[in-house]
């Protein structure tokens, strides 16, 4: 495995090596059947078992009550940007959006096309380097839902304490921090997450939805946009992304074997500390984008004081097997994405490289 690099890509992102090996092992003949799972009917007993186990593992890991359904949909998180308002932002209703980054803004823009929207918070003025506090929010009296983005992948900020929305369902795009720590699902009406950051490959989107919301779905919607039909058919209204669901299931098994989400959180805290310490102990050579108390444990964003050195940083990092570090153009600089599957060794190697690079290039 000496040709494996440390991949800090924001997504699709690194997967656990054990999972990849298992997929490789089962590639040509799954469960002795003489064919790959990829080649099997989604109605086969093998695949039905895979999807049921994936659902059961989600429930177990996140401690999800029977008031919720777990769905595996397609179209990525971006499809959820419109599916949420199509289902719940019906006539005469208003939805609140808290815009803390690029994806939050994309979600907001889709909702605006479909109904009344109130921007309950927007951190754009500060180039999204923080998460608003409760008293900075202007929530509507009786919104149909409040939408947040739990981790801002591009800017590197993360909600620690979710807003209090009373009886109004909280809807969260958790694409980039789902299952990175224990989460109280009962605080949410709906959670969605594209799998390709923390849960598996691209192609499958996890949706966790409170059952009472399924009753509000307008029957006039196109079938593929209806949460109620997706739930009734156990995510098999049409052919689901079978191979992606299978890999996601293996990732969930891997998370469980690590000791569940408490252990995963401890591990993620330790990992992020290596990188943030390297920033904070650099005498300003590295400058973090996010305000310290809102820093993401999943995406560390920083600039070099001498921005002309940034391309050299990325180039020399790659020579050291540290890849995928270029920041998004709206922030610039460097972004190290260190999702669940990034190893501690990878974070230590990056922190060490940062120190060495500083020693070599500071005047
Ligand atoms: C990556 C990402 C998206 C986009 O996901 P797609 O599956 O590509 O549609 C949306 N929201 C957040 C927070 C993300 O990190």
pLDDT digits (tens, 9 = 90+) for 211-262: 999 999 999 999 999 999 999 999 999 999 999 999 999 999 999 999 999 9
By most ligand atoms within 8 Å of CB, the mutation choice from 180, 194, 205, 207 for ligand 1 is 194
Q: In this predicted structure, what is the pLDDT of residue 2?
A: 65
Shared-domain flag, residues 308 and 178: no
Task: Please name the residue that has the structure tokens 């958790």.
Answer: 174
Sign of torsion over alpha carbons 259, 15, 59, 78: positive
Q: Considering only CA atoms, which residue is closest to atom 2 of ligand 1? A: 175
The residue among 257, 283, 307 that closes a domain is 257
Shared-domain flag, residues 275 and 211: no
Nearest CA to 150 among 159, 139, 141, 142?
159
What CATH number did the domain enclosing 104 receive?
Answer: 3.40.640.10
CA distance 207 to 199: 12
CA of 203 to the centre of ligand 1 (A): 11
Residue 157 beta carbon below 6 angstroms from any ligand 1 atom = no
Q: pLDDT digits over 78-134, tens only?
A: 999 999 999 999 999 999 999 999 999 999 999 999 999 999 999 999 999 999 999
Domain containing residue 124: 18-257
Q: In this predicted structure, what is the pLDDT of residue 362?
A: 87
Q: Reply yes or no on whether the pLDDT at 1 is more than 80.
A: no
321-329 average pLDDT score: 96
Residue 153 beta carbon below 6 angstroms from any ligand 1 atom = yes
Using alpha carbons, list the distances in angstroms from residue 238 to 232, 234, 235: 12, 10, 8
Task: Please name the residue that has the structure tokens 């419109």.
Answer: 82
Sign of torsion over alpha carbons 204, 239, 42, 53: positive
Shared-domain flag, residues 180 and 197: yes
- What band does 363 get if pLDDT is binned at 50, 70 and 90? confident
CA of 78 to the centre of ligand 1 (A): 6
Shared-domain flag, residues 293 and 218: no
DSSP lists the bridge partners of residue 146 as: 96, 170
The residue among 257, 285, 300 that closes a domain is 257
* Total tally of structural domains belonging to the chain: 2
By most ligand atoms within 8 Å of CB, the mutation choice from 9, 10, 11, 157 for ligand 1 is 11
Q: Considering only CA atoms, which residue is closest to atom 3 of ligand 1? A: 77
CA distance 17 to 253: 13
Q: pLDDT digits over 139-187, tens only?
A: 999 999 999 999 999 999 999 999 999 999 999 999 999 999 999 999 9
Average model confidence (pLDDT) across the chain? 97
CA of 175 to the centre of ligand 1 (A): 6
Atom from ligand 1 closest to the CA of residue 174 = 13
């Amino acid at each position: 495995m000496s040709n494996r690099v440390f991949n800090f890509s924001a997504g699709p992102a690194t997967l656990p090596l054990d999972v990849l090996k298992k997929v490789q092992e089962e590639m040509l003949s799954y469960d002795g059947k003489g064919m790959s799972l990829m080649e099997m009917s989604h109605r086969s007993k093998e695949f039905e078992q895979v999807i049921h186990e994936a659902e059961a593992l989600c429930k177990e890991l996140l401690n999800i009550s029977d008031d919720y359904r777990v769905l595996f949909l397609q179209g990525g998180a971006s499809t959820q940007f419109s599916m949420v308002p199509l289902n719940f932002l019906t006539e005469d209703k208003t939805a609140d959006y808290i815009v803390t980054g690029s994806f939050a803004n994309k979600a907001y823009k889709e909702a605006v096309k479909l109904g009344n929207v109130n921007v309950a918070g927007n951190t754009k003025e500060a180039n999204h380097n923080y998460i608003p506090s409760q008293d900075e929010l202007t929530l509507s009296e009786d919104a149909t839902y409040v939408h947040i983005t739990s981790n801002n992948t591009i800017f590197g900020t993360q909600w620690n304490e979710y807003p209090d929305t009373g009886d109004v369902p909280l809807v969260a795009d958790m694409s980039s921090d789902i299952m990175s720590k224990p989460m109280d699902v009962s605080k949410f009406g709906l959670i969605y997450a594209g799998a390709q950051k923390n849960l598996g490959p691209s192609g499958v989107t996890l949706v966790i939805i409170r059952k009472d919301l399924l009753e509000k779905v307008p029957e006039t919607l196109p079938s593929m946009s209806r949460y109620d039909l997706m739930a009734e058919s156990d995510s098999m209204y049409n052919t689901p992304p079978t191979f992606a669901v299978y890999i996601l299931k293996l990732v969930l098994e891997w998370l469980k074997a690590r000791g569940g989400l408490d252990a995963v959180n401890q591990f993620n805290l330790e990992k992020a500390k290596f990188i943030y310490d390297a920033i904070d102990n650099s005498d300003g050579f590295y400058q973090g984008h996010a305000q310290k108390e809102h820093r993401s444990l999943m995406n560390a964003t920083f600039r070099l004081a001498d921005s002309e050195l940034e391309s050299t940083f990325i180039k020399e990092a790659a020579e050291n097997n540290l890849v995928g570090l270029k920041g998004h153009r709206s922030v610039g600089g460097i972004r190290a994405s260190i999702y669940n599957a990034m190893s501690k060794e990878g974070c230590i190697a990056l922190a060490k490289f940062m120190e060495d690079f500083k020693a070599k290039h500071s005047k």
